[in-house]
């Protein structure tokens, strides 16, 4: 497979696993096309044409000089200049790295990653929060996140990739969608569990089990007791980053009993305590591993097995066919 094929298929799989549904995502892409057609020719030169086919602004190819074949991918949760130097050194030693793949955004995808947060409102509406309320609460939070990343040096790692001639990409929401889909199916319609049972179910997932074996953060109850009833369980694992603090209380109003997520700020946890809603942190990096592994399994099913050089918190676990 070519680098472009690898990335395009990751996006395709991300769309198929999107909790909003494929129809909704295609509608959003059609609306994006209409918006593009309305902008002036002067503005079109600044437009990122990738947005017409890729609905995830937090996932991009950041360097692809020759679109070569991919046989060995060096994959990490976060990729910085030091990781690119490591990839260059490994290639010098004979372990040819064809592509460096990050999970978390970098370069352009980091600058714009807050745009994918818009999907959270639609997801919350599926859980019972009125869409108008979900959108209103999300808007302010989305703007805040956007402003918070504006001062950063977005191009530091991607510039290094260009100088070293190393192909580089990242896949964020396409992988996170797979975590939501996978865990969502596990807990669908299971409303009579205790929190300790939820934890045991999570710990049986290989990526969370691996985290525990390595003494890394795994499934943890951060609000509620092991003996507490979970009630309606929702999986909040995609959409860029944490949404509005106030959304937690709206989820409680909608009948949600337990939220399983990757990470929550202290403000989110305090709101959960006030709203009497249980919070389980499944583990951030271990959840990122789960999403990437599920995604890579699909890529290998289509294009054949490729070698993965693990780095920066990523551990490849293949599911049995």
By the 10 Å C-beta count (0-12 exposed, 13-18 middle, 19+ buried), 17 is classed as: buried
d(CA 258, CA 277): 6
Do 221 and 278 touch, CB atoms closer than 8 A?
yes
Q: Global pTM?
A: 0.96
- How far apart (Å, rounded) are the C-alpha atoms in residues 92 and 200? 44
Q: Beta strands of the chain (E only): which ranges?
A: 60-63, 72-76, 99-102, 168-170, 220-223, 232-236, 256-261, 278-281, 307-310
Give DSSP secondary structure letters for 171-196.
-SHHHHHHHHHHHHHHHTT--S-BHH
> 232 near 278, Cβ under 8 Å?
no
Average pLDDT on 58-81 reads 97
The CATH label, of 1.10.1660.10, 3.40.1390.30, 3.40.30.10, 3.40.50.720, for the domain at 179-283 is: 3.40.1390.30
DSSP 8-class letter at 307 = E
Q: CATH 3.40.1390.30 region(s) of the chain?
A: 179-283
Element (H, E) at 251: helix 246-253
Query: Residues 121-174: pLDDT tens digits?
Result: 999 999 999 999 999 999 989 999 999 999 999 999 999 999 999 999 999 999
Residue 284 parent element (H or E): helix 284-303
Q: How confident is the model over 176-196, as pLDDT tens digits?
A: 999 999 999 999 989 899 999
- Output the pLDDT for position 321: 66
């Amino acid at each position: 497979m070519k680098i472009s094929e690898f990335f395009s298929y990751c996006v395709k799989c991300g769309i198929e696993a999107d909790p909003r549904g494929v129809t909704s995502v295609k509608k959003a892409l059609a609306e994006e096309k209409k918006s593009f057609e309305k902008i002036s020719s002067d503005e079109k030169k600044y437009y990122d044409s990738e947005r017409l086919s890729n609905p995830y602004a937090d996932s991009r190819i950041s360097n692809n000089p020759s679109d070569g074949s991919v046989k060995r991918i060096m994959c990490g949760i976060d990729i910085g200049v030091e990781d690119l130097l490591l990839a260059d050194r490994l290639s010098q030693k004979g372990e040819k790295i064809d592509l460096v793949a990050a999970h978390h955004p970098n370069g352009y995808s980091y600058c714009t990653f807050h745009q994918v947060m818009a999907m959270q409102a639609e997801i919350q509406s599926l859980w019972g929060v009125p869409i108008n309320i979900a959108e209103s609460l999300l808007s302010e939070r989305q703007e805040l996140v956007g402003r918070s990343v504006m001062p950063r040096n977005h191009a530091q790692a991607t510039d290094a990739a260009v100088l070293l001639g190393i192909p580089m990409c990242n896949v964020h929401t396409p992988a996170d969608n797979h975590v939501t889909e996978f865990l969502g199916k596990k807990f669908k319609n299971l409303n009579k569990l205790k929190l300790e049972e939820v934890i045991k179910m999570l710990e049986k997932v290989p990526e969370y089990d691996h985290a525990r074996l390595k003494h890394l953060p795994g499934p943890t109850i951060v609000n509620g007791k092991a003996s507490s009833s979970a009630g309606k369980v929702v999986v909040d694992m995609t959409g860029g980053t944490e949404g509005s603090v106030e959304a937690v209380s709206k989820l409680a109003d909608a009948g949600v009993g337990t939220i399983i997520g990757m990470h929550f700020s202290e403000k989110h946890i305090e709101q959960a305590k006030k709203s009497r809603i249980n919070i389980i942190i499944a583990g951030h990096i271990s959840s990122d591993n789960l999403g990437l592994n599920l995604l890579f399994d699909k890529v290998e099913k289509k294009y054949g097995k490729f070698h993965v050089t693990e780095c920066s918190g990523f551990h490849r676990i293949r599911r049995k066919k």
